[in-house]
Amino acid sequence: MAKDYMPPSDFLRDLIDEDVEIEADDTATVKRLLSFFKDADAANRDWAVFLLGQSEVDTKALRDALVGALNDEDDSVRAEALVALAQRDGDLARPHVLEALSAEGIYPTVFEAAALCAHPDLIKPLRGWLKATGDKEVDQMVAEAVAACEASAK
């Protein structure tokens, strides 16, 4: 996320500023973060998904919330949710990655999610993005995703 992109929520900013890991047994913090998945402000939703996505928390409630966030109106929230879901369950994330790869415009984090899923079904749609973005860093992400998926096919 951009350095100056901060959520309006004091609670979220405090978590970001403290740079603390969110522990799975800190149920109060996890529940509060999950409540932000439905917040009216997209930046709050985005940061809540990102913070939980970067944590070691892996519960059914979180996975369900991440699947729900895949339908968020904000592209950034959907992209963060996809990566977080792929980190926890590549099989659950894979159909959503396939759908995202078929879109005209795509967030680079979709390629990160594809690499995390590392499944042969993703090779063909990923190859369509090779050198298509015009951004060397993103093109590298695509190449790494293709390589991860090809390695899983062996």
Can you give the residue ranges of every domain in the chain?
11-88, 91-153
Give tens-digit pLDDT for 92-117: 999 999 999 998 888 999 999 999 99
Distances (CA, A) of 49 to 30, 35, 69, 96, 150: 11, 10, 8, 16, 29
Coil, helix or strand at residue 33: helix
Give tens-digit pLDDT for 43-58: 999 999 999 999 999 9
CATH superfamily placement of domain 11-88: Leucine-rich Repeat Variant (1.25.10.10)
Q: Give the ranges where 19-105 is alpha helix by DSSP (H).
A: 27-35, 42-53, 60-69, 75-88, 90-101
